[in-house]
Structure 1
Amino acid sequence: MTQPLTVWAVTEGQIGTENQARGVAEALIGGGPGSVVVKRIAVRAPWRWLPPALWPAPLMALGRDGDALEPPWPDILISCGRRAAAPNLAVRKRSGGAVLSVHIQRPYLPSDRFDLVVAPQHDGLHGANVHVTRAAVHRVTAERLAARRRKAGDGAEPARHAVTVLIGGSNRRHRLTEAIASRFAERLAALCRARPVDLRLTPSRRTHPAIVRILAEKLAGTGAEIWDGSGDNPYFDWLAVADTIVVTWDSVSMTSEALATGKPVYVLPLEGASRRIDRFHAGLQADGYTRVFDGALDRWDYVPPDDTAAAAAAIRARLRARGQAGSAMRSG
């Protein structure tokens, strides 16, 4: 693609879905000409209470609190998340089919209405226009990790084992209880006493303050660093310097991002069950990518899934099939 491409990454603004859409969009542009425009939509009442398949005019369902989807149209629109799928198709229709329509994750609409659907293996979605990934797509790249490692290089202590813990929280299917957090923190503390460890924990928006408090109390005196939510999120920096990563079971996105490092990744089971997420973790463990955290630190090797680059390549193939090498933004 020699001409500039304009790519919209459209979500409701949740960090997990936005990072997936942005990750594929950035991989698609790469180092070539083009731009990624992040669009965060807000669906107004009563449409946000209804399945998107029942929205008669999806673009009219968008509220003023979010970004507008209006001309000039992009070359490609990449959406992620259930409520972003119908607006994606509406833009495709409004543009007369000129916009290449890509949706990430199961769209809960007929997949053949999109030019391409990028769905993880555990979604169980298949079709002529469905590109299946091993894990979730994301923004973590080898180049980004290398840059962060160089940035942190002066303060590194090679003799100490760096453990990064990515903490999610309770959702509709899984529960990170205080009892689980307490047992987990006790195992981490024992690890710090047993060997030289640099322990870093980064909570997410879903992490309940009581969970953070328990972790802080149990890990007091170990030298563990827990991000308190102030300043820039050290998420990428701590991924980059990690020798081992531990992720809570609830997050497919964080597990997938951890796997991009090629380092050993442990998962912490939570209460509850989700057929989709449990299938995801069972598959990764069976294939030798991850292990359940039991308090030990082992070493194993695997080839990190290259799902984001593969998804971008699938989009380029669709562009070539359409004879669309890229163009300036359309006037609608």
Structure 2
Amino acid sequence: MSQSETPPRIWRVLGDKRGDNAQVEIVAEALARDRGWVSDLRHLEMLPQFVVGKPRVGPTLYHIDQSLSDPIEPPWPDLILTRGRRPANVALWIKKQSGGRARIVLVGKPAGWFSHQMAQFDLIVTSSETLPAPFDNVMQIDLPLMKISEARLEAGRKAWQARLDTLPRPLVVFLIGGPTSPFVYNAEMEARLRARMAQVLAEGGTPYIVGSRRTPKGFLDRVTAGLSDGVQRFDWSQPDSENPYTGLLALADRFVVTGDSISMLVEVARLGKALEIVALPYGGLGKLDDLRRRAAAWMFQARRNEGPGEALRLALARGLYHMRLLQQTRHFPGFHQILIDRGLASWMGEPSAGIGDHPALSATDGDVARILARIDPLLSGR
């Protein structure tokens, strides 16, 4: 774009999920910094039944409260940055109203990846835990664009330093997510976590266990049963207690994170903190489901060379996707192995020399530069 041309009109179409929004904001900030393209926010409020309930996938506004949302009206944008099922529906509706002129960059996997909807996104940016069908509009990056801001870390440090400084070191934080297919939270997992916490206590340190909204009721009680009073805890089921998460991110020495929580794993890894991953046990049909995910990981990988065998694999993968015989999914073990291979994590209880010596690449390095390079041609000739 020459200096005489008008900068593109860019909208950030976002809901109320802070983690989702932060990933879009990273791209928007890079566009403003590196291209000089400023974007406008279109904040969406959902109708009560769709705050948790999932609306159907497609170009629609039926799920948003238009009286509380920012106006969605012309002039339509040249580019939309969005993430999540609910905002993506609105982005698709805007594109339809613009006669197909508006370009959509979706950060994260589309919900309900039916082929006719997937093609409506001009660029889909997914990270390595997702297994998208290998179409030309899909771009895969390494780690999700998740990063705790310096301002949040500093606020957490100020709020919690006096309280955490009284605890024996090392301060080892256990971040607990919740069961997700194909994995379960069972007695075997509870026993492994309890043993690791007992090890921290035996070494004179402090284990601090932190649950989340997805953590099963009673799980923290069972894990900490029989351990000394030196264990610290935060439980989402006690709404009056203060969440120490950002304070612990800023001040703790080591983290043990359940493998189901991609966001917590990445936020710790990006800080360069020592990180242990809790391998998760499979449910009743979990191993069969894992085979399906491994098959998708092989079929849906990006083109590796220009040979005829690769062309055949890609054609077969796309055909299976169109027939809905093999859909996009996530493969957690593959993502865990990436963190370990890059020296960003170790398995719980295993030696971790060098882990945490250096932070992961900044979310604005490498991957974001590649994203901007893919956005540029979307706006050429507008």
- In 2, Cα distance between equivalents of 1:91 and 1:311: 27
Task: Please tell me the root mean square deviation across aligned C-alpha atoms, in Å.
Answer: 3.9
Residue 287, structure 1, aligned to residue 289, structure 2: no
How many residues align? The count is 314
Larger RCO, structure (CA 8 Å, separation 6 or more): 1
Gaps of 5+ in 1: 326-332
Q: What residue identity is the alignment partner of 2:190? A: A
5 Å matches for 1:169-188?
169-188=178-197
Map Cα deviations across residues 292-330 of structure 1 (whole Å, 9 max, x no partner). 1027775523440434655554554466542699xxxxx
Q: Is the 8 A contact 1:182 1:218 kept in 2?
A: no
Map Cα deviations across residues 106-162 of structure 1 (whole Å, 9 max, x no partner). 322555532321111232444544332212222424564355445545555497222
Residue 145, structure 1, aligned to residue 147, structure 2: no
Q: What secondary structure sits across from 1:174 in the alignment? A: coil
Moved more, 252-261 or 223-232: 223-232
Identity of aligned residues (%): 23
- In 2, Cα distance between equivalents of 1:221 and 1:190: 14
5 Å matches for 1:94-113?
94-97=97-100, 99-107=102-110, 108-110=113-115, 111-113=118-120
Q: Tell me by how many angstroms 1:209 deviates.
A: 1.6
Residue 205, structure 1, aligned to residue 209, structure 2: no
Residue 247, structure 1, aligned to residue 303, structure 2: no
Q: Tell me by how many angstroms 1:280 deviates.
A: 1.2
Q: Bigger radius of gyration, 1 or 2?
A: 2
Aligned partner of 1:62 in structure 2 is 63
Aligned partner of 2:246 in structure 1 is 236
- In 1, Cα distance between equivalents of 2:60 and 2:148: 31
- In 2, Cα distance between equivalents of 1:164 and 1:246: 6
Q: CA 1:218–1:23 in structure 2 vs 1: closer, same or farther (change >3 Å)?
A: farther
Aligned partner of 1:119 in structure 2 is 126
Aligned partner of 1:222 in structure 2 is 230
- Where is the strand percentage greater, Structure 1 or Structure 2? 1
Q: What residue identity is the alignment partner of 1:59? A: T
Q: What secondary structure sits across from 2:229 in the alignment? A: coil
Q: CA 1:5–1:314 in structure 2 vs 1: closer, same or farther (change >3 Å)?
A: farther
| Superposed structure 1 runs of 4+ greater than 6 Å apart | 1-6, 30-33, 48-51
Q: CA 1:35–1:89 in structure 2 vs 1: closer, same or farther (change >3 Å)?
A: closer
Map Cα deviations across residues 57-101 of structure 1 (whole Å, 9 max, x no partner). x31542559958732656653333456544422222223456441
Q: What residue identity is the alignment partner of 2:348? A: F
Q: What secondary structure sits across from 1:175 in the alignment? A: coil
Residue 29, structure 1, aligned to residue 32, structure 2: no
Q: Is the 8 A contact 2:256 2:275 kept in 1?
A: yes
Q: Tell me by how many angstroms 1:256 deviates.
A: 1.3
Q: Is the 8 A contact 2:44 2:65 kept in 1?
A: no
Q: What secondary structure sits across from 1:222 in the alignment? A: coil
Map Cα deviations across residues 154-197 of structure 1 (whole Å, 9 max, x no partner). 555497222222111112321112442243123202311222x2
- In 1, Cα distance between equivalents of 2:248 and 2:182: 28
Map Cα deviations across residues 206-258 of structure 1 (whole Å, 9 max, x no partner). 10121022134344412423244435532222112122111111122221112
Q: CA 1:224–1:60 in structure 2 vs 1: closer, same or farther (change >3 Å)?
A: closer
Aligned partner of 1:328 in structure 2 is none
Q: CA 1:190–1:9 in structure 2 vs 1: closer, same or farther (change >3 Å)?
A: farther
Residue 304, structure 1, aligned to residue 313, structure 2: no
Q: What residue identity is the alignment partner of 2:140? A: V
Q: Is the 8 A contact 1:10 1:41 kept in 2?
A: no
- In 1, Cα distance between equivalents of 2:183 and 2:73: 41
Q: Is the 8 A contact 2:44 2:64 kept in 1?
A: no
Q: Normalising to structure 1: TM-score of the pair? A: 0.75
- In 1, Cα distance between equivalents of 2:63 and 2:228: 47
- In 2, Cα distance between equivalents of 1:264 and 1:283: 16
- In 1, Cα distance between equivalents of 2:152 and 2:201: 28
Q: What residue identity is the alignment partner of 1:198? A: T
Map Cα deviations across residues 9-66 of structure 1 (whole Å, 9 max, x no partner). 435x5x5xx5133333255237976554543546979xx78973xx5xx315425599
Q: Normalising to structure 2: TM-score of the pair? A: 0.67
